[in-house]
Amino acid sequence: MSKKVLIADDDEVIKSILEAMLGSLGYTVSIVSTGAECLEHLSSNLVDILFLDYLLDDMSGGEVIQKIEQSLENKQNLKIILTTANSLEELEQMDPATKIDYYLAKPFDLAALKQVLTEVESTHQPL
């Protein structure tokens, strides 16, 4: 059974690239563009891995993660990969209680994506 991935990003190019890369690796991919759409999708669908942009149009990735932690019962099985073109210093300004499983810097290539996915798969508990 393929892993279910949700991409939450407002950049059409990034969404297309990630969808193609993940699809070629055998993942089932869904895509949303806003934090609100992300939360709505997660409330009604089981997702194994969330690729979450740090800066969405309607809220930050940190805000999305906090709302996920407050509202989803199955959060312990969801792995979150935060994607951003911002520096690590900006990410360090996030609330330290915000749980980020992995970080993927933009721009990224297939090798970097595979490396992060290998780490996710090695620690992932099935739904």
The predicted-structure confidence for 34-86, as pLDDT tens digits, reads as follows: 999 999 999 989 999 999 998 899 998 889 988 888 886 656 678 999 888 86
Q: How confident is the model at residue 107 (pLDDT cuts 50, 70, 90)?
A: confident
pLDDT at residue 17 above 90? Answer: yes
Task: Report which of 52, 14, 7, 53 is spatially closest to residue 32, judged by C-alpha positions.
Answer: 7
* Average confidence score pLDDT of the chain: 85
Share of the chain above pLDDT 90, in %: 47
What's domain 4-108's superfamily in CATH?
Response regulator (3.40.50.2300)
Q: How confident is the model at residue 104 (pLDDT cuts 50, 70, 90)?
A: confident
